[in-house]
Chain A
Amino acid sequence: MSSGFFIHPSIFFFAGMAVLPFLKGIQRNVFLVILPLIALATVVNIDPGQYASLKITTLELIMGRADKMSLMFAHVFTLMALLGTIYGMHLKDNWQIIAAWGYVGSALGCVFAGDYLTLFLFWEGLMVTSVCLVFLRKNRASLRAGYRYFLVHTAGGLALLAGIFLLYYHTGSLAFGPFEPNNASWAVYLIMAGFLLNAAVPPLHAWLPDAYGSATVVGSVFMCAYTTKTAVYALARAFPGFEILIVLGVIMALYGVVYAVLENDARRLLSYHIISQVGYMVTGVGIGTAMSLSGTCAHAYAHILYKALLFMGVGAVLEVTGKSKFSELGGLWRYMPYSLVFTLIGGLSISAFPGFSGFVSKSMVIAGAWQSHLIWAALGLTLASAGTFLHTGLKVPYFIWFWKERPPFDPPKKEAPLNMQIAMGLTAFFCIFIGVRPQALYSMLPFNVEYHPYTLYHVMESWQILLFTMLGFFLLIKKLTPEPLIGLDVDWFYRKGGGLFLKFCKGVLAKVENGLIMNIHQTFFLPLMKIIASFCSWNDQKVVDGIVDGTASSTLTLSSRLANALQSGLLYRYLAAMLTVLAAIIGATLWLTQWIK
C-alpha cells in the first residue's frame, strides 16, 4: 500500500447512478457536468502507487493499481464520460445516462484492477451495463441484438474466468501482469481469448457492428469508447510481445476496411472501422517494444475521442432524421452544416491527416513496426489507413451530406440539439489539440520514447497516400453507390445457426422421437411394464396384504389381552403396581447417587 492521493474514480460514477433519479431540471444538468469533471480532476491528481488492496486468506485483491498506463486510460475514460454525458443531456429519461455511468465506472474498475479476479468482476459489469444501452433503444431489432451481444460476451467472460481459475490452480497467483510469450499455458490462452473477444478480433468480432448499430444514439457513443479499449488495455498489460497478436492485428485492420465497403448503415460502417483501428493497437501490443506499446496507448487515447466524435455526428443525423442508412440519406448539408463540420474533423482525425489527432498516434504504431523490421505489417497497416480515409473521411460525409441535391425524404429543417453540438465541438477541439500539440499526449505515455511525427518526409508521405486515395475515391465513385444490402459476417453462424438448430429439433429430433423412440416404447417397453405391473399387483394383494392383515389381527388380540390384565378395576392390584414402581425409583436413585460419589 502506498501513501498518496487516491480515490477510486469509479465511486463517483456508481454514486452518481443512485443520485441522478432524484434530481430535476437545472440541478440535474449541472450535476451531469460536475460529476464527470470531479472524476477527471481526481484522475489527474492521483499519485502513482498501489492502493485499496484487500487480503482474503491467500488471495490479494487490488482495486487501485495506479501507474502511468492505467492513469492514461483512466484520463481518457473520464474525459470521454464528460463529453458523452453532455451529448446525452437532452434525454428526458435518465436510464441511458445511468447505464452509461455504470459502464464508465466498470471500465475504470478494469483499468485500476491489479489482479485478475477484480478485473473479471468489473469486466462483467462492463457487459451488463452496456447491454442496457442496446436494450434502451426499445425496438425489436435492438432487443434481439442485445441478447446476442449478451450471450456472446457471456461466452467470452466464461473463457476468461476459466483461464483465471486454471492460472490460479497452476501458479497460485492472480497478479494482473505480463505473461511470458515463450511458455504460455492453456490458462494464458483462455485469458487471451476472453480479451480478444472484447477487442473484437476476427472471428470473435461480429457482436460489435451488430450491437453498436442497434444501440441508442447516446449509447453507441459511449459503447464505441470503452469495451474495446478496456480490452486493448488488458492486452497491453498481459500480452506484450505475443507475436500472434501482430498477425491478428494486421488481419483485423484490413478486415474492418473490407467490410466497411459493403456496409450501407453509417453506424455499422463506423463499427467496422473500430475493428480496423483496434487492429493497429493489437499489432502494437504484439510487437511489444516501448515504441509500439506507446503507439498502442497513444492511439487508444486519440481513437476514443475521434471515434466518439464520428458516432456523435452520425448519431445527430439519426436523432434528427431517424435515418442512418446511406441509401436513404444525402443532401443534408443545407440543414445540418455544423454536424457535417464536426464529422469531417472526426474523419480527418481517424484518417491521420497532418494536424489532427490520428496523425500523431497511428504513425507511432507504424513506426514501431518499421523499427522492428516488420515490413509486411507496416505496409498492411498503411494500406488499411488508405481504406480508413476512403470510408470514414470520404464515404460517410459524402453520402450523408452531399451526393444528392436534396434529401430523398422531407427532413426536419433543423440542426441537432444544442447540447449535442456543444459535445461535438468540445470533442473536435480535443482532436485538433492533440494533432497540433502532440507533446500533451506523449507526456502521458507509460514509456519514455523519442518520437517526432512532423518530419518533412512523414508529412509528404501522408499527403501522398491521402490525396491519391481521394483521387481513387472520385474516380471509382460509381462503384461505391450505396445499395440497400447487408454483407454476411460470422454472426451468420449463430444467427442462422440458431434457426438451423431449431429446424433440426423440429425435423430430425421430433421424427426420431415420434418414429423410433415411441415405436420401441410401444412394442417393447410398454408390454414389459405391463408384465412387471401385473406381478407387482399380485404381490401387493397376496403377499403384502396378507402380512399386513395378519399383523393387524394379532396386534388387536394382544392389546385386548393386555387391557384386560392392566385395567382390572381391582384397587389392590393398582396399589401393588404403584408401590412396586415407587420402590424401583427409590432403588434406582440410591444406586445412582452412590455411583456419582
Chain B
Amino acid sequence: MFFVKALSYTILVLLVVTDLFVPREHPHFIGDFIPGFWAVFGFTSCAMIIVVSKWLGKKFLFRPENYYEDENSEETNGYV
C-alpha cells in the first residue's frame, strides 16, 4: 500500500515538473502560462465541489429516503 501511494505521488509531482517544458501553442488566458495551473485547478475544483455540495445538502437539501412517501401513504392500496 505504501508502494502504491509513493508511486502515485511521484506521478503527480512528475506531471507538474514536466509541465515546465511543455510548449504553449495557443494560450487562451493567463492560466495557460503558469506551469501546474491545471493541477491546482483540478484539485481545487474537486475539493470545492465536494465541500460546497455537502454543505448545501446538510444545510438545506437532505431529507430521509421516505420523505415523499409519507404524504401519499393513505392511498397505497390498489397498486401493484
Residues of chain A whose beta carbon lies under 8 Å from any beta carbon of chain B? 138-140, 143-144, 257-259, 261-262, 264, 370, 375, 378, 382-383, 386-387, 390, 455-457, 460-461, 463-469, 471-473, 476, 479-480, 483-489, 495-496, 499
Contact = CB atoms under 8 A, between A and B. Distances in A.
Given A261-B57, A464-B15, A496 B71 contact: yes
Interface centre among B40, B43, B56, B64 (most CB of A within 10 A): B43
Given A143-B79, A479-B51, A499-B71, A467 B46 contact: no
A506 B53 CA distance: 38
Contact of A390 (B22, B49, B67, B79): B49
B47 A476 contact: yes
A320 to B, nearest CB: 22
B70 to A, nearest CB: 10
B49 A387 contact: yes
Interface residues of B, number: 46
B49 A468 contact: no
Given A375-B28, A486-B67, A460 B18 contact: yes
Contact of A258 (B29, B32, B40, B56): B56
Given A143-B79, A455-B25, A465-B38, A262 B15 contact: no
A457 B61 contact: no
B79 A464 contact: no
A464 B56 contact: no
B50 A480 contact: yes
Given A140-B76, A386-B49, 12 more contacts: A382-B45, A456-B22, A457-B25, A463-B15, A464-B39, A464-B41, A465-B42, A469-B45, A476-B51, A484-B64, A487-B61, A489-B61
A488 B67 CA distance: 10
A295 to B, nearest CB: 15
B61 A469 contact: no
A378 B31 CA distance: 12
Contacts of A144: 72
Interface string B7-25: 0100110011011001111
15 contacts: A143-B80, A259-B53, A383-B49, A456-B23, A457-B25, A460-B22, A464-B41, A465-B42, A468-B12, A468-B38, A471-B12, A472-B43, A480-B50, A485-B62, A487-B61
A370 B28 CA distance: 6
Interface centre among B39, B42, B67 (most CB of A within 10 A): B42
Given A375-B28, A457-B25, A495 B62 contact: no
B49 A457 contact: no
Given A375-B28, A457-B23, A463-B15, A471 B43 contact: yes
A143 B76 CA distance: 12
B54 A473 contact: no
Contacts of B8: 471
Given A468-B43, A485-B64, A258 B49 contact: yes
B61 A261 contact: no
Given A375-B28, A460-B22, A488 B61 contact: yes
A464 B80 contact: no
Contacts of B18: 460
A461 B38 contact: yes
A460 B20 CA distance: 11
Contacts of A480: 50
A397 to B, nearest CB: 16
Given A464-B38, A499-B72, A261 B53 contact: yes
B2 interface: no
B31 to A, nearest CB: 8
Given A467-B11, A468-B40, A140 B46 contact: no
B60 interface: yes
A466 B38 CA distance: 9
A460 B19 contact: yes
Nearest to A137: B80
Contact of B19 (A257, A382, A464, A472): A464
Nearest to A463: B15
Contacts of B6: none
A140 B76 CA distance: 8
Contacts of A489: 61
A258 B50 contact: no
A375 B28 CA distance: 8
The 3 closest A-B pairs by CB, nearest first: A472-B46, A261-B53, A468-B42
A261 B53 CA distance: 6
B62 A486 contact: yes
A386 B42 contact: yes
B73 to A, nearest CB: 11
A140 B78 CA distance: 10
Contacts of B52: 258
Contacts of A456: 22-23
Contacts of B19: 460, 464
Given A464-B19, A476-B50, A479-B51, A383 B45 contact: yes
Contacts of B46: 386-387, 390, 468-469, 471-473, 476
B68 interface: yes
A465 B41 contact: yes
A191 to B, nearest CB: 32
Given A378-B28, A461-B38, A262 B23 contact: no
A148 to B, nearest CB: 11
Contact of A467 (B12, B57, B68, B72): B12
